[in-house]
Amino acid sequence: MINNSCHKASKRNIGLMELQKLGISDLDIQKLIDNGIFTINSLAKASKKELYSIKGLNDRKAEKILSLAKKRVPVGFSTLKNYLKTKKQQFHISTLNKTIDNLLEGNL
């Protein structure tokens, strides 16, 4: 079982537990967490060299994990037009209080 006390995913990043749904074992996810990789976002930005240095992850497995992460979290640049299009598609719930909505940045 994954050590949840170490799992410090921020609200904007997708937790590594998503990798379980893609076929990555609990043990491999725990190895990533033990090496300071807590989210798919941080995993997608990690270098192959970083993953190769993790004890217990062979090169093939590291490449598979990195590939899955990069498919899940697009790394790179996006145009402002695409960003605004994505932003419009997000669903927000209002508290009916603009001050609180601004504090929460539209996220409940």
Q: Are 73 and 40 in contact (CB under 8 A)?
A: yes
Contact 30, 6 (CB under 8 A): no
pLDDT in tens, 44-66: 889 999 999 999 999 999 999 99
CB-based contact 29:17 (threshold 8 Å): yes
Task: Give yes or no for a contact between 29 and 6, defined as CB atoms under 8 angstroms apart.
Answer: no
Identify the DSSP state of 54.
S
37 pLDDT higher than 60 = yes
pTM for the full predicted model = 0.57
